Amino acid sequence: MNKEKLVYGGAVIVGVSLIAALLVALVLFSIGASPLATYKTILTGPLSDVFGVTEVLVRSVPLLLVGLGIAISFRSGILNIGAEGQIQMGVLASTAVALALPGLPRGILLPLVLLAGALGGALWGGIAGWLRARLQVNEILSTVMLNYIAAQVHTFLLRGPMLDPNELETGSGTPQSMRLPETAFLDQIVPGTRLHTGLILALVAAVLVYVLLWKTTLGYRMRAAGAGAKAARYAGIPVEKYLVVAMLLAGGFAGLAGAVEVTGVHHRAIEGISSGYGFAGIVVALFGMLHPGGIVPSAIFFGILLIGADMTQRSAGVPANMVLVLQGVIILSIVSAQSFLRNPYAQERLFRWLSGFRPKKGAQP
Amino acid sequence: MNPEVMIYNVLSLAVPFSVAILLAALGENFNQRAGVFNLGCDGIMCMGAFVGFMLPYSLKAGPLAPYGNLLGVMGALAAGALLGLLFALVTVTFRASQGIAGIGLQMLGWGLSGTLFRHFVGGVTGVEGILAMPIPYLSRIPFLGGVLFNHTPLAYVAFLLVPASWFLLYKTPWGLKVRAVGTHPRAADTMGISVDRTRYQALMLGGAMAGLAGAYLSLCQARMFSDDLVAGRGFIAVALVYFGRWSPLGILGGALLFSIAQSFQLSMQVWGIKFPYEFAVMLPYVLVIVVLALARKARQLGPTELGKPYNREMRF
């Protein structure tokens, strides 16, 4: 990515954020909250102490991993909306492996658990990829449906076969799995907080995704398939195959995010563990211009937003669903801005329309 | 229990279940016929459900109380049309990628309805809703009467909209325009049809119908509102349009098939057939994927320019 493009892209993102903030301010206004105070709480509240900063980073780890996967799939021309379900499958697979093999030494168990999570997610994403490649099933619809299915599988397993036996005997029947063996925990980076080494893992993954997409043949072919399927096919690239690969990778990253949540934060599978990371990941990826270099700051920014939204719910009574509204508005503004900027005719028309307000003497209509 | 009663139970439950997805899918059909793939349908239904619930709920004690339900339905139609207009602005005027924009609209509608609900209402509260209105004489026909003629007024409207939207699409100049801009926008443009304006109209109509579908859910089916009331029905409606091969009659068939599967699943639980509840809930979603996989051939019958923004100034 060259410098001009970077500045240009950055300007677009800033502009889009401002537009989105203005639109959401209308909503805040209508529910009687002060937009300025709310934004101030959201943006500065989480960063006011060390604990807040570590919590932001804890949230941005899954966002970063999911966002990377989604960037791979979007770049390859397949729109993966199913990260939510893929996370849940990753959670289930990694928990199952950790609970099944508690005796293994840490050096083997932990990588195995993370791998299992990635495989669980990859399987779930791969289904949608295969359906698209072989049967031309629209991947947006199939991934959305797979989300609902995964949610039910998750609930079923946590309430049935994987339910913690202690919950049945003595507990309140909370649907959650047994606690993982400690050998399957990720280390804490800052003692006393929840910040774990998953952060390092996610940052390494960001570098790897960059290398994959821009420095390898596989990545080049995937991007080619996404940029123009027809042209790629003429160049001898089996587009369908790369669609499946892209969905396997996207699902794998989402599944890994689920595994990292289990091993780093909750140490067991619980209900609501993915808490919207799958959808937020789409916005993170688009906001980061589908490039790892942009997705890292974008994941941190949305980490701030998520924590900040929780804070405003407590302090200002603004429901945390507000984040969903913000995400929706940001998506709509980003895709509008991008296609507008890619289209010189539309810009010309806008300028013509704008200059219509200040007609110059002798100007042609 | 004799089989006739069992069939009766399944069918008389299936008909009301089918109304919401039928309404939304008929609306989505107009969008897709005009060449726009509106995945935000689910979000529009959320907003329709919220507005439909909110107006009667807040007017409960006021002088307008007797008109609460009517106003709720009108409000849902208006909210849906408004969101359709927003989607048209994004996808027709700005020519944004329709798939991602649809997901954005879905998040917006879902999040906005949830936010407003939590702020203005808070917890689960019921409304009286719209009561069933058996059609005189017809509802007393044995078997058929209970299955077909003992529902809420919105259900009758939905079923009447099947022939109405067929007529609108195939027998009116506007329907011809809609099909033209979805199949060959350049030819339509050359003939003096405004592609953008037609797509705007189709999106607003589709949005209003999705809003009505949402209002049906909150006013007639659940008689309350919650965040997960719509539960992906908007996406099922989009899939139904494929399944029904872009024809109102096919969509009706698909909607009935889905709702029979759903009511069968519920009835099985009532009959005491042991079956994990979660698997029963996931059944319609699995069915959507299977149906989409089987409907591969049907895609050739669809609007050829589906999902492609039209740019009259682009020369190629």
pLDDT score, position A364:
47
| Cβ under 8 Å to A: B residues 10-69 | 39, 43
Residue spans of chain B under pLDDT 70: 1, 297-300, 314-316
Band of the pLDDT at A115, cuts 50, 70, 90? very high
Q: Any residues with CB less than 8 A from the CB of B198 and at least 6 apart, and which? A: B34, B174, B177, B178, B180, B181, B188
Compute CA distances A233 → A72, A228, B26, B62, B307, whole Å: 19, 9, 36, 65, 21
Chain A residues near residue B235 by CB distance under 8 angstroms: 141, 144-145
pLDDT score, position B160:
93
pTM, whole model, 2 decimals? 0.90
Cβ separation A324–B309 shorter than 8 A: no
Cβ separation B289–A79 shorter than 8 A: no
Given a cut of 70, whether residue A48 has pLDDT beyond it is yes
Given a cut of 60, whether residue A365 has pLDDT beyond it is no
Please tell me which residue, A94 or B147, carries the higher pLDDT value.
Answer: A94
Any domain includes A357: no
Alpha-carbon distance A25 to nearest alpha carbon in chain B (angstroms):
13
Tokens 């669809």 sit on residue: B302
Neighbouring C-alpha atoms within 13 Å toward the C-beta of A126:
13
- How big is the A-B interface in CB pairs under 8 Å? 160
Rounded percentage of chain A residues whose pLDDT exceeds 70: 96
Q: In the structure encoding, which two tokens stand for residue A19, read together?
A: 């537009």
pLDDT score, position B214:
94
Given a cut of 80, whether residue A8 has pLDDT beyond it is no
* CB neighbourhood size of A135 (10 A): 14
Cβ separation B104–A319 shorter than 8 A: no
Any domain includes A353: no
Closest residue in B to A345 (Cα–Cα)? B313
Any domain includes A210: yes
Cβ separation B95–A346 shorter than 8 A: yes
Any domain includes A10: no
Tell me if residue A316 falls in helix, strand or coil. Answer: coil
CB distance from B274 to chain A under 8 Å? Answer: no
Band of the pLDDT at A125, cuts 50, 70, 90? very high
Alpha carbons A121 and A255: distance in angstroms, whole number: 4
Helix/strand/coil percent split, chain A, to 5:
75, 0, 25
Mean pLDDT over A105-128 rounds to 93
Backbone angles phi, psi at A68, to 5 degrees: -60, -45
Chain A residues near residue B89 by CB distance under 8 angstroms: 336
Q: Which of A65-79, A86-100, A190-204, B298-312 has the lowest mean pLDDT?
A: B298-312
Beta bridge partners of B126: B224
Query: Is the domain B3-130+143-301 a CATH 3.40.720 member?
Result: no
Any domain includes A198: yes
pLDDT score, position B242:
85
Q: In the structure encoding, which two tokens stand for residue B202, read together?
A: 């189709």
Mean pLDDT over A307-335 rounds to 85
Which of the residue ranges A63-72, A191-200, A227-236, B230-239 has the most confident prediction, judged by mean pLDDT?
A63-72
pLDDT score, position B99:
87
Any domain includes A89: yes
Chain A residues near residue B314 by CB distance under 8 angstroms: 345
Closest residue in B to A132 (Cα–Cα)? B293
Minimal Cβ distance to B94: which of A160, A318, A339: A339
| Cβ under 8 Å to A: B residues 61-100 | 86, 89-90, 94-97, 99-100
Alpha-carbon distance B19 to nearest alpha carbon in chain A (angstroms):
20
Cβ separation A345–B99 shorter than 8 A: no
Mean pLDDT over A275-283 rounds to 89
Domains in chain B: boundaries: 3-130+143-301
Alpha carbons A66 and A79: distance in angstroms, whole number: 13
Minimal Cβ distance to A319: which of B89, B115, B286: B115
Tell me the per-residue pLDDT of A153-178, one tens digit each, with 9 for 90 and over: 998 898 888 887 777 777 677 788 88
Tokens 């089989």 sit on residue: B3
Q: Any residues with CB less than 8 A from the CB of B60 and at least 6 apart, and which? A: B68, B127
Q: How many domains does chain A have?
A: 1
Chain A residues near residue B298 by CB distance under 8 angstroms: none
CA B207 to chain centre: 9
Tell me the per-residue pLDDT of A351-362, one tens digit each, with 9 for 90 and over: 787 777 655 544
Minimal Cβ distance to A140: which of B43, B99, B115: B99
DSSP string for residues in A136-175:
---HHHHHHHHHHHHHHHHHHHHHTTTS-HHHHHTS---S
Q: What is the mean pLDDT of chain A?
A: 87
Cβ separation A335–B309 shorter than 8 A: no
CB–CB of A268/A179 below 8 Å? Answer: yes
Tell me if residue A35 falls in helix, strand or coil. Answer: helix
Closest residue in A to B117 (Cα–Cα)? A319
Mean pLDDT over A330-334 rounds to 90
Minimal Cβ distance to A282: which of B103, B109, B296: B103
Given a cut of 80, whether residue A270 has pLDDT beyond it is yes
Chain B residues near residue A332 by CB distance under 8 angstroms: 86, 90, 96, 101, 104-105, 108
Given a cut of 50, whether residue A363 has pLDDT beyond it is no
Band of the pLDDT at A50, cuts 50, 70, 90? confident
Backbone angles phi, psi at A270, to 5 degrees: -125, 170
Residue-number span of the structural domain to which A125 is assigned: 59-299
Alpha-carbon distance A201 to nearest alpha carbon in chain B (angstroms):
28
Chain A residues near residue B286 by CB distance under 8 angstroms: 145, 149
